[in-house]
Each structure stands twice: as C-alpha cells, then as structure tokens.
Amino acid sequence: MTQELIAKAEVLLEALPYLRRFQGQTVVVKYGGAAQQEPALKQGFAQDVTLLQYLGINVVVVHGGGPQIGDYLKQLNIPTQFVEGLRVTDAATMDVVEMVLAGKINKEIVNLINTAGGRAVGLSGKDGRLLAAQKLEYYKPREEEPPEIIDIGLVGEVTGVNTDLIRTLQAQHFIPVIAPVGVGEGGETYNINADSVAGAVAGGLAAAKLILLTDVPGVLDGQGHLISSLSRRQAVELLEAGVAQGGMIPKLKCCLEALEEGVAKAHILDGRIPHVLLLEIFTDSGVGTEIVA
C-alpha cells in the first residue's frame, strides 16, 4: 500500500515541471473521432479538460462531427457526396451541418465539461464573428492540363479569427468550445474542416500546443511504426514522399501551418487512449507524434 502511494506521489512530481511551464499558457485541442463518440472516453475528455483548467492552463476546444452529420443526413434522406474527403455542402446539407455541429454536439460537449466541474461556453464561428471565412476553391490536378475547378458548395476556409473574444472568455476562466462553422463577409454560412479551424485558432492565439485527437497512434513511417517526434522539415518530407496518406495529410498540413503562425508544438494523438491529454502534457515520455518548430 505504501509503495502504491509513493508511486502516485512520483507521478505528481513528474508533472511538476510541466505544470510550471504551461500554467497560463493556451492549449488548443481538436476533439473528434472515438474520443467524441464513446461514452467513457467522452467523460474522460471532459475530466481532463476540467483538470487542465483548474491547473491554470487555458484550453480551447474545437470539435468535429462528421459521423453524426452523416447519420442525420441519412435520416432526412439528403444524399451525401464527398470530394477528396470534403463533404459537398449544398444549402440543405448546410442547415443540417449547422444544426448538428453548433446545436447538438456543441452543447453536449459543453454540458459534459460543466458537469465535470469545468466552466465551458459553446460558440460557433458566427458568434462575435469568431471565424471569418470564405468559400474554399477546390482544384483537382490533371495531367498535362490546367487543374479542374470543382464546386463543393458551402465549404469554407478560415480567413480570420476573433481572438479578442476567446481571450475575453479565458480572462473570465471559461473554456471556449468552438463548432467549425464560419461566416462570410456577406453573412454566408460555411462548413469548415475542424482540423483547419483548430490550426487557425492555435495560430491566432500563438498557443503553446495544438493537439489533434485521432483514431490512429500518430504519424507512421513507411514500415507502419510510430514516429514520436518530427521537425517541420521531416514532416514536409513525409508529405512529399507520399508516406503520409489519407486523413493524415490534412492533419500534417494543419500542424505545419500552425507552427508557421507561431504555435510552439503540434501533436497528433490517439484519442482512443484514456486521458491521453494528461499523458501528453504531464509526462516525460509523452504519447503520439509531436511536430516541433
């Protein structure tokens, strides 16, 4: 029994230098995948975020909701089409996207954090023009011809982040929980990739960390082994060599853009691991893949 208690004390001591380093700093977390769907992981995430807040770390949560959007579209008999992983978003689809992201999912996450003892506030990009956006122009490469322009509807990209709104909430000790819905100059509503939003928010806040939760261990090399640490140059080489594939490509690009905007470190973590946020921030070994400037 005494040894178990000593082991717990040693865990706290290991966390001490990280507590000193990150107190008062901002950590932006993109919340998605299994961590956002499995009840035990959802509750654990809310507890982790609440603990970080109590320890003086400013957490900003950006969430996705692709599977839930797909379920609702299916129930409403609205057909779904994807182009290179991007959901083609017409007006009817956009209504469902906004309803599910800014309504159901956003408020569920806020409620989970508040129930765990935290102080969370839900926002979409429309609140205080938090996420200024424009229509995303998608170009499909073609051999020996100019790229083909494909209209993917109301899919947007972030052009600006109202960091004053986020900092005001942080000053009052609230955790902003952001749905990736942006607003155009004319009031248009845009569906934006949650990874991209998290990267833009982290860059705007010059966050100490950008953390993307996924359903894979992290970035893998050509033999399928986890790469624990990457420099920016190494990450670019993985992309150019085609080693990074599928959904890992936009995640790596998002991390690289955030580092260019002043984020100190970016992390791609396996959200299926319970309390993965705490393991990354407060242990010597860390988990997943870190990309460093």
* Backbone region of residue 278 per phi and psi (left: phi > 0; alpha: psi in -120 to 50; beta: other values): alpha
For 232-279, how does the pLDDT look when each residue is reduced to its tens digit (9 = 90+)? Answer: 999 998 888 888 877 788 899 999 999 999 999 999 999 999 999 999
Residue 199 pLDDT more than 90?
yes
Share of the chain above pLDDT 70, in %: 96
293 confidence band (pLDDT: 50, 70, 90): confident
- The tokens 């057909």 sit on which residue? 79
Higher pLDDT, 152 or 120: 120
Q: Are 181 and 98 in contact (CB under 8 A)?
A: yes
Return the CATH number of the domain spanning residue range 26-224+231-283: 3.40.1160.10
Domain ranges of the chain: 26-224+231-283
* Backbone region of residue 39 per phi and psi (left: phi > 0; alpha: psi in -120 to 50; beta: other values): alpha
Residue 175 pLDDT more than 80?
yes
98 confidence band (pLDDT: 50, 70, 90): very high
Handedness of CA 59, 62, 67, 70 (dihedral sign): positive
Residue 31 pLDDT more than 80?
yes
Higher pLDDT, 30 or 151: 30
Half-sphere exposure at residue 190, Cβ-oriented, CA atoms within 13 angstroms:
29
Task: Specify which of 36-40, 189-193, 216-220 reaches the highest per-range mean pLDDT.
Answer: 189-193
pTM: 0.92
* The predicted structure's pLDDT at residue 161: 97
* The predicted structure's pLDDT at residue 33: 84
Alpha carbons 197 and 227: distance in angstroms, whole number: 25
114 confidence band (pLDDT: 50, 70, 90): very high
State how beta strands 289-292 and 229-231 pair: parallel
Residue 18 pLDDT more than 80?
yes
Half-sphere exposure at residue 84, Cβ-oriented, CA atoms within 13 angstroms:
13
For 124-139, how does the pLDDT look when each residue is reduced to its tens digit (9 = 90+)? Answer: 999 999 999 999 987 7
26 confidence band (pLDDT: 50, 70, 90): very high
